Amino acid sequence: MIQLIQNFINKVFRDLFRKKKNLKIGIYGPPNSGKTTLANRICKDWLGEELGVVSSIAHETREIQLKEKVTIKSKDDNEMTFSLVDTPGIATKVDFEDFMKAGLKSKEAKERAKEATKGVIESIKWLDDMDVVIVVLDATHDPYTQVNITIIGNLQARDIPVLLVANKVDLKKADVKRLEAAFPQYDIVGISAKTGTNIDQFYEGLFAIAG
């Protein structure tokens, strides 16, 4: 009951902020799913500049990255302005030895692991500040992980609108249908943030839930 009241209050406040147009859109997901690549794609498409550094080593984004006043346009010329929040990947484990295997030196790997753990905590803390969340999942990976379920379940519990994105559809192993089967209650947009495949469909989806 308390949770229901809490959700109602959150929704009222969120709607108030939306009307003020201080919309905050967060990009969430597990590490290496392509969150920063998507954030860069959005910023490049509409602002002409990138937001963050992309790397094949997990936990490249270890701090919240924010880009204010991003304005996008829909096909029918509607405009939407928001702050874009790129978050560090949420994980249940961080092993500095994995970074060493990826080529980092011991000291560097330990430092990265420490920063990565702080990044995960920051991502979780920022959840309450979001008006809308884009959950970016890697379409080449098994979607039935507890991290994915926890992220999506938390957003559902907080009554935050979610756009589910199946990223990396340019890769052969990508399977959007598997994601659709795992989260049948959501519409899923299959995209490649790297190549721009289906990016227009993604923006339409964003307008549909946040516009």
Partner 1 sequence: MLTLQYMPYGEIEQLQSEERVRKILSVVKKNRIVLLEGKLEREEETELIKQTMESISESFKGIELGAINPTERGDAAFIQKLKKNMATLLMGNRQGMTIIGPASIVRQIKQDPEKIQVFTDVGKRRR
Binding site for partner 1 (CB under 8 A): 90-96, 110, 113-114, 117-118, 120-121, 124, 127, 142, 144-147, 149-150, 153-154, 156-157, 182-185
C-beta of 6 vs 71, nearer to partner 1: 6
Distances (CA, A) of 171 to 22, 127, 133, 176, 192: 36, 30, 24, 11, 9
Burial (CB count within 10 angstroms: exposed 0-12, middle 13-18, buried 19+), residue 194? middle
Least Cβ distance, residue 3 to partner 1 (angstroms): 9
CA distances from 143 to 44, 94, 167, 174, 209 (A): 28, 20, 12, 11, 22
Q: Which two tokens stand for residue 131?
A: 């008006």
Distance CA 151, CA 26 (A): 12
By beta-carbon proximity to partner 1, the closer residue of 120 and 169 is: 120
Closest to partner 1 by CB, 118 vs 177, is 118
For the CB of residue 129, give the shortest distance to partner 1 in the complex, in Å: 14
Name the 3-class secondary structure at 99: helix
Of the two residues 56 and 185, which places its CB atom closer to partner 1 in the complex? Answer: 185
In angstroms, what is the minimal distance from the CB of 81 to partner 1? Answer: 29
Closer by beta carbon to partner 1, 45 or else 180: 180
Shortest spacing between CB 187 and partner 1, in angstroms: 13
Give the nearest distance from C-beta 109 to partner 1 in angstroms.
11
